[in-house]
């Protein structure tokens, strides 16, 4: 045993790792793997990646016939919509038990006005040359000149999309109030007891229950009218839905 221990001790003392050989082995393996995969590999620094991105951008500009000195901005229909949604969510208001529909309209209008003011101030501080050199990617993937009017148009579109979504949401809230869940309790002994629970219904402020779609249409009208947008006929059936009814719908779920 003592002899064996002395031999093992001397063996570990003399054991060394040939790092150069291992390094060469790993490099050969990497080259072999890249060759077998059919792809070339290369390490790109941050500066190199930025230069490559610029090169690709110049290729896009050349294909669209845009002068290389001009600027392709990050403005797009989707980007403006996302910015508006974020702006609405960042509008802070105290929680209330009543008038929650009006509360959301106030948040929408406030966010819209702030973004509109930012656009107007940006172009007021830009030279005519800078404005002529600004481009953006349109919805049809073409590259078009970006103007103040175009940015305001994209903002209006984002507000309209949000209004449409929230109007549909209001209609869903109204429909859910008519939902009557049914709970069945299974008891031992083969007996089954059925209990139906009806959600409490608050009397509508309108004498006639709104027809399908009227809640959504009226909510949309109010959203758009808040920024003086939209062309709605005065004889529309949606006018039968009062603003107090829309607040009642939102307030019902705000208190749950």
CA dist 30 → 21, 34, 45, 187 (Å): 14, 6, 20, 68
* Phi, psi of 143, deg, nearest 5: -100, 120
In this prediction, residue 224 carries a pLDDT of 96
Grade residue 230 by pLDDT with cuts at 50, 70 and 90: confident
pLDDT tens for each residue of 132-184 = 889 999 999 999 999 999 999 999 999 999 999 999 999 999 888 776 666 66
Check whether 256 has a pLDDT greater than 90.
no
**pTM for this predicted structure:** 0.63
Q: From CA 66, how far away is CA 43, in angstroms rounded?
A: 31
pLDDT tens for each residue of 13-30 = 554 556 677 667 766 765
**How large is the average pLDDT for residues 54-68?**
62
In this prediction, residue 17 carries a pLDDT of 56
Q: From CA 163, how far away is CA 81, in angstroms rounded?
A: 12
In this prediction, residue 238 carries a pLDDT of 47
Check whether 38 has a pLDDT greater than 70.
no
Q: Are strands 71-72 and 134-137 parallel, antiparallel or unpaired?
A: parallel
Q: From CA 156, how far away is CA 86, in angstroms rounded?
A: 15
Check whether 128 has a pLDDT greater than 70.
yes
Contacts 24+ apart (CB under 8 A), 66-71: 66/135, 66/143, 67/133, 69/133, 70/132, 70/133, 70/134, 70/135, 71/133, 71/134, 71/135
**Domain boundaries defined on the chain:** 80-125+147-183+209-254
Number of helices (H) and strands (E) in the chain: give both, helices first: 9, 5
| 213 conformational bin, left if phi > 0, alpha if psi -120 to 50, beta if neither | left
In this prediction, residue 237 carries a pLDDT of 44
Q: 54-58, 79-83, 125-129: which range is least confident on average?
A: 54-58
pLDDT tens for each residue of 187-210 = 656 555 555 554 445 544 445 677
**How large is the average pLDDT for residues 214-226?**
94
Q: What is the mean pLDDT of the chain?
A: 78
Q: From CA 249, how far away is CA 226, in angstroms rounded?
A: 19
More confident residue, 102 or 193: 102
Grade residue 235 by pLDDT with cuts at 50, 70 and 90: very low
In this prediction, residue 14 carries a pLDDT of 52
Check whether 109 has a pLDDT greater than 80.
yes
């Amino acid at each position: 045993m003592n002899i064996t221990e002395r031999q093992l001790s001397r063996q570990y003392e003399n054991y060394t790792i040939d790092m150069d050989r291992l390094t060469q082995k790993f490099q050969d393996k990497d080259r072999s793997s890249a060759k077998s995969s059919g792809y070339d590999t290369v390490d790109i620094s941050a500066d190199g990646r930025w230069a490559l991105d610029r090169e690709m951008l110049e290729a896009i500009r050349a294909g669209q016939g845009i002068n290389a000195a001009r600027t392709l901005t990050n403005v797009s229909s989707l980007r403006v919509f996302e910015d508006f949604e974020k702006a609405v969510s960042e509008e802070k208001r105290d929680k209330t038990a009543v008038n929650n529909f009006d509360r959301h309209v106030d948040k929408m209008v406030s966010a819209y006005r702030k973004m509109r003011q930012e656009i107007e101030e940006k172009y007021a501080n830009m030279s005519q040359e800078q404005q002529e050199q600004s481009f953006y990617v349109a919805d049809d993937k073409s590259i078009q000149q970006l103007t103040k009017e175009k940015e305001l148009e994209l903002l209006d579109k984002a507000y309209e999309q949000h209004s449409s979504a929230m109007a549909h949401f209001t209609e869903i809230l109204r429909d859910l109030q008519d939902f009557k869940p049914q709970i069945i309790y299974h008891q031992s002994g083969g007996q089954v007891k059925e209990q139906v629970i009806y959600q409490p219904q608050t009397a509508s402020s309108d004498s006639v229950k709104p027809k399908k779609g009227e809640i959504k249409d009226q909510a949309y009208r109010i959203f758009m009218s808040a920024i003086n947008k939209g062309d709605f006929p005065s004889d529309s059936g949606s006018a039968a839905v009062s603003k107090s009814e829309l607040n009642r719908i939102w307030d019902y779920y705000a208190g749950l």
